[in-house]
Amino acid sequence: MLMTVCNAKTQRQKPSTPAVDGDHIYSAWGTPSELKVVAVRHDGSVAWESDNLGPVFGGHGFGTSPIGLGNLVLIANATEKKSSLLALDRMTGKVASSASSVTLGERLPRPRSYH
């Protein structure tokens, strides 16, 4: 599953960079019809796949990377129409919190976490 998500042949623009913690590898991908995040255990088995988190609109493809933050996985859907910032439970993939109409624009940020 993870190899398909990050394969340059299936995603012509720059792919997202996966995030890693002690339990999972988190990867995200977006298309005009859906935004998904998947968590893969270190043994390669899929722990969870999120529900469709909404469409991704933009002329440059999807390249936003997930961020692990405590018990959450953050993902920005920065599009030219309606942007949002979503916080998913890192163990279940369920939306724990969201902020719609965030002014992100179509920047497709690659946020970083500093400790």
Q: How confident is the model at residue 108 (pLDDT cuts 50, 70, 90)?
A: very low
pTM: 0.74
Give the Cβ contact number of residue 4 at 10 Å: 12
**Residue-averaged pLDDT of the chain:** 79
With residue 53 as reference, give the H or E element that holds it. none
Q: How confident is the model at residue 83 (pLDDT cuts 50, 70, 90)?
A: confident
Q: Which of 82, 90, 83 is nearest to 37 (CA)?
A: 90
**pLDDT per residue as tens digits for the range 24-73:** 999 998 888 888 999 999 999 999 999 998 888 766 667 789 999 999 99
Q: Could you tell me the domains of the chain?
A: 2-7+16-100 (2.40.10.480)
